[in-house]
């Protein structure tokens, strides 16, 4: 699948106060901005037109734009983020999405849903139930997708923060998997690139056209991807990892 467009949002001064479950320390804003610059450059190298939205200090986590929407070639779904401090992020994202889409659906309370819990594999969407996405939100999305002739499977998560924390789709029926997804029955029919436990964070990688963008510092995963024939771009994501974020979280790709 070819991606023509990407949307990103700059980290703001309050980024350092974002939500986290990790104990990797407080992010360094200046470094986060440099890493974000490199991320934008990589998306351009992959051939996408990058829309860069300005930061909003009211929402410390708003650079993690992936959580605000689910985008398909035909329509957009604005999510209803499950964290209180993030829910309002959708109001700034909506006009940006409207500039690309005419057909827009919404996830509505009491349903909650974070885009990071949604993985598209060809015409089939997998919807994680997590601390952020509840059953009601997942079922709303499932109904929307099925009404648009997509398939949708709900996948309750055991340990991962978001579905895409532990799984990525590369095209060609091939997935990158870590942890609970290595032997998960819902994903057994795919070709798998298995990320070893010590490199688990590298499972959050993104295929963008001719490249797979991966976090730097995960040599075994990089080697497996290269041996499978994928060209990789490595990016330092240390300041995003400190807030449980990764490469997929930082953009909407469509």
Q: Please, what is the Cα angle at 254 between 20 and 192, to 5 degrees?
A: 70
Residue with nearest beta carbon to ligand CIR: 116
Residue 229 falls in which region: left (phi positive, over 0), alpha (psi -120 to 50) or beta: left
Is residue 205 among the annotated active site residues?
A: no
- Residues 228 and 26: beta-carbon distance below 8 Å: no
**29 lies in the binding site for ligand CIR (CB under 6 A):** no
Helix (H, G, I), strand (E, B) or coil at 124: strand
Tokens of 28: 């360094």
**How far is Cα 54 from Cα 36, in angstroms, rounded to an integer?**
12
Name the one range near ligand CIR by CB under 6 A: 8-16, 17-25, 136-144, 206-214. Answer: 17-25
Q: Which of 245, 247, 252, 254 binds ligand CIR (CB under 6 A)?
A: 245
Q: Would you state the structure tokens that stand for residue 58, as one six-digit string? A: 């009211």
Closer residue to ligand CIR (CB): 84 or 227: 84
3-class SS letters over 132-195:
CCCHHHHHHHHHHHHHCCCEEEEEECCCCCCHHHCEEEEECCEEEECHHHCCCHHHCCCEEEEC
* Least distance to ligand CIR, CB of residue 13, Å: 16
CA distances from 70 to 35, 125, 181, 201, 210 (A): 24, 10, 21, 22, 22
Q: Which of 3, 244, 247, 253 binds ligand CIR (CB under 6 A)?
A: 244
Q: Which of 39, 64, 201, 230 binds ligand CIR (CB under 6 A)?
A: 64
Based on the shown chain and the rule CB under 6 A, indicate whether residue 162 belongs to the binding site for ligand CIR. Answer: yes
Q: With binding defined as CB under 6 A, does residue 19 bind ligand CIR?
A: yes
- Annotated catalytic residue within 46, 162, 184, 205: 162
- Which x/- pattern, by CB under 6 A, does the window 39-58 give for ligand CIR? --------------------
Interface positions, 78-137, toward ligand CIR (CB under 6 A): 83, 86, 116
Give the residue numbers marked as catalytic: 162, 249
Enumerate binding residues for ligand CIR (CB under 6 A).
18-20, 61, 64, 66-67, 83, 86, 116, 162, 165, 243-246, 248-249
């Amino acid at each position: 699948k070819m991606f023509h467009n990407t949307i990103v949002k700059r980290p703001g001064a309050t980024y350092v106060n974002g939500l986290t479950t990790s104990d990797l320390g407080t992010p360094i804003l200046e470094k986060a901005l440099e890493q974000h610059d490199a991320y934008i450059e990589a998306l351009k190298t992959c051939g996408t037109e990058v829309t860069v939205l300005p930061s909003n200090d009211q929402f410390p986590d708003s650079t993690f734009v992936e959580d605000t929407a689910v985008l398909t070639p035909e329509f957009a779904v604005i999510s209803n983020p499950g964290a209180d401090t993030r829910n309002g992020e959708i109001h700034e994202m909506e006009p940006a999405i409207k500039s690309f889409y005419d057909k827009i659906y919404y996830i509505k309370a009491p349903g909650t849903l974070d885009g990071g819990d949604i993985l598209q594999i060809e015409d089939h969407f997998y919807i994680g139930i997590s601390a952020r996405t509840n059953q009601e939100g997942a079922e709303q999305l499932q109904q929307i997708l099925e009404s648009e002739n997509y398939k949708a499977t709900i996948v309750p998560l055991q340990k991962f923060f978001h579905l895409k924390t532990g799984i990525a789709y590369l095209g060609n029926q091939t997935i990158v998997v870590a942890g609970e997804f290595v032997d998960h029955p819902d994903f057994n029919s795919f070709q798998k690139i298995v990320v070893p436990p010590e490199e688990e964070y590298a499972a959050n990688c993104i295929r963008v056209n001719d490249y797979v963008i991966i976090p730097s510092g995960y040599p075994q995963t990089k080697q497996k991807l290269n041996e499978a024939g994928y060209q990789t771009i490595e990016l330092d994501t240390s300041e995003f990892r400190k807030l449980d974020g990764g490469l997929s979280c930082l953009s909407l790709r469509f």
